[in-house]
Amino acid sequence: MADAVTNDRPLALVLRAAGTNCDRETVHALELSGAEVELVHVNALARDPSILDRAGLLAFPGGFTFGDDVASGAVLAHIIEQRLRPRIQQFVDDGGLVIGICNGFQVLVRLGLLPGGEGRGAMLWNRSGRFEDRWVHLDSGTGESPWFAPGQRYFMPVAHAEGRFEWFPEHPGDRFPAHQVAFRYCNADGSEAQYPEDPNGSHDSIAGVISADGHVLGMMPHPERFVRPEHHPSWTRIRSDGVIPSEHELPEPMGLSIFRRAVAHLRSHQGDLVGGGGSR
């Protein structure tokens, strides 16, 4: 299959549906990270799943798909289950990268592409019983993944009502497998977080999980909302007497680093991935 993009710009697909509202931000984040990006409606992908053959990365952005009727992500997950599930599974098996952010995380859990909930469950309502919208600190897990650096501290926003990750182990008291933890909520100093620093009361303070091979990432925080230094909530305080600080004084856009790592992985594994396009 002929390459659709240059080898140094792997193709990423951003999937949208009715109610998706973080798709443009996700496209922007991936473009800043060096990917060629196509925004694709779920119906278009269902009509022509071969679009995936050209891509190395598939993103399920945040939002309120189909108004979160029934439950968060339930309708979109049902559509994908009926029309695309085997094809997306093949994409993952061939080495493609997948990220689900907020609503997208909920969809990936419902599809069984990530563990969580009871059987094919979903994220539950925040323990506060309300929508939570704030910036949070995160510690990344120790597992190997193209998406994050193990042991790295991150800072980015959350905005969700159904973000409580629960785990129903075979043996009561068992914790979620450590190698599949992507992120945990923590305090600024890295210590264990309580509400409101932990916005939802997830099992083991989990904010994101990965598949067994690390290629599929689901997370409730929004990395696409921190891809420029000016996105930092204290940006205006960094300026002194109206003078914009030098580059080394700017806050690091930690959300962007997640997308950059994924794009770098695709570039370095072009020969290992199945298919055509710039990466697969």
- Active-site residue, selected from the candidate residues 22, 38, 224, 231: 224
- Active-site residue, selected from the candidate residues 102, 132, 162, 186: 102
Q: Is 102 a catalytic residue?
A: yes
Q: Is 224 a catalytic residue?
A: yes
| Whether the Cβ atoms of residue 141 and residue 181 lie closer than 8 Å to each other | yes
Backbone angles phi, psi at 109, to 5 degrees: -70, -45
Six-digit token string for 39: 């925004």
Q: Answer whether the bond into residue 196 is a cis peptide, omega within 30°.
A: yes
d(CA 223, CA 28): 11
- What string of DSSP letters covers the chain? ---SS-TTS-EEEEEE-TTB-SHHHHHHHHHHTT-EEEEEEHHHHHH-GGGGGG-SEEEE--B-GGGG-SSTTHHHHHHHHHHTHHHHHHHHHTT-EEEEETHHHHHHHHHTSS--BTTT---B--TTSS-EEEEEEEEE-SS--TT--TT-EEEEEEEESS-B--B--SSTTPPPPGGGEEEEEE-TTSPBP-TTTSSS--GGGEEEEE-TTS-EEEESS-GGG-SSGGGSTTHHHHSBTTBPPPGGGSPP-HHHHHHHHHHHHHHHTGGGS-SSTTT-
| Whether the Cβ atoms of residue 152 and residue 251 lie closer than 8 Å to each other | no
- Active-site residue, selected from the candidate residues 137, 160, 215, 222: 222
Indicate which residues carry an active-site annotation.
102, 222, 224
